[in-house]
Amino acid sequence: MEALEQLIHAGQLSPVRDRIAAELEDVDTLCDTYRSRIYRYALLSLRDPDLAESVTQDCFLKAYKARKEFRGDCSVATWLTRIATNLIRDSTRSRKFQFWKAANATAVDAGAIADRLRSPGLSPETFLMIKEELQQLWDTVATLPGQQRIVFLLRFVEEMEVLEIATAMGLHVGTVKSHLHRALTAVRKAMEGTK
C-alpha cells in the first residue's frame, strides 16, 4: 500500500492503472501468465484435476467479467488468488466433492511423484526414506483443516508473503500466521514420525 501511495503522490498512478487495465483486458495473455499458478493452487487444494480445471476457468471468467471492479489495491496475482479461493471454498462445500472425498477416489500416489523426483546419485536407502517422508507429508497436508491447508499452500508452494495471503483470503495477518504455525507443527510431527 505504501508503494501505491507513493505512486499517487508522484502522479504515476494513472499509467500503473492503465497497465493493469490493459493486462486484465487481454484475457489470453492473462491466462498465459497466471493459468499454471491458479491451476496449481486449485489442484493442490482440491486434489482433483478436473475440478481444478473447472475452478481455473471459472476464475478467469469471473476476473474478466469483474475487471472494471478491480481497484488496483493489490497485485493481479493476489486478486486472482482471492477469486480462486472463493471458488475453491464453494467447490469443497458441494455435495459432489464431499462424496468423492469420502470415497477417497482422488487420492494421489505421492510415491509415484517421488519416483519422478529421484536424483540419480541417491542411494536406494536414502530414496526410500525420502519417499516415505514425502508420503507422510503429502497425507498430512491433505488432512489439514481447509484454511490451514490453503494458507500453507499459498505460503510454501506459491511463496506468497503473509500480507498477500491475508489480502487474498480476507483474513487478518495474525490469523494467517496462526494458521501457518499450526500447519508447520503438523508437518514437523509428520516428519518426526518418519525419523
Partner 1 sequence: MKTTHLSAWEHEECVLGEATPEMLDHLTECAPCRVEVARLERGVTLYRKAALEWSSECLATRPRQPHLAGRSRLPALAVRWAIAAAVLFVLALVPLHLWSPRAVQHTAEISDDALLQQVDEQVSVTVPASMESLTHLVSTESGSGAGAATSAPGGKDLVRTN
Residue span 59-88 as binding mask against partner 1, x where in contact by CB under 8 A, dash where not: -xx--x------------------------
The residue from 113, 128, 163, 173 that contacts partner 1 (CB under 8 A) is 113
Asked if 4 is part of the footprint of partner 1 (rule: CB under 8 A), the reply reads no
Q: Which residue has the cell 471459472?
A: 58
Closest distance between partner 1 and the C-beta of residue 188, in Å?
6
DSSP 84-114: HHHHHHHHHHSHHHHHHHHHTTT---HHHHH
Q: How far apart are CA 121 and CA 113, in angstroms?
A: 17
Grid cell at residue 11: 502522479
Asked if 166 is part of the footprint of partner 1 (rule: CB under 8 A), the reply reads no
Grid cell at residue 128: 526410500
Asked if 142 is part of the footprint of partner 1 (rule: CB under 8 A), the reply reads no
Nearest to 194 by CA among 149, 135, 151, 118: 135
Residue span 6-45 as binding mask against partner 1, x where in contact by CB under 8 A, dash where not: ---------------------xx--x---xx--xx--xx-
Do the beta carbons of residue 88 and residue 116 sit within 8 Å?
no
Helices (H), 26-157: 27-46, 49-65, 76-93, 95-103, 110-117, 124-142, 146-156
Closest distance between partner 1 and the C-beta of residue 126, in Å?
12
> Where along the sequence are the contacts to partner 1 (CB under 8 A)?
27-28, 31, 35-36, 39-40, 43-44, 49, 52-53, 56-57, 60-61, 64, 108, 110, 113-114, 116-117, 130, 133-134, 137-138, 141, 153, 155-157, 162, 177, 180-181, 184-185, 187-188, 190-191
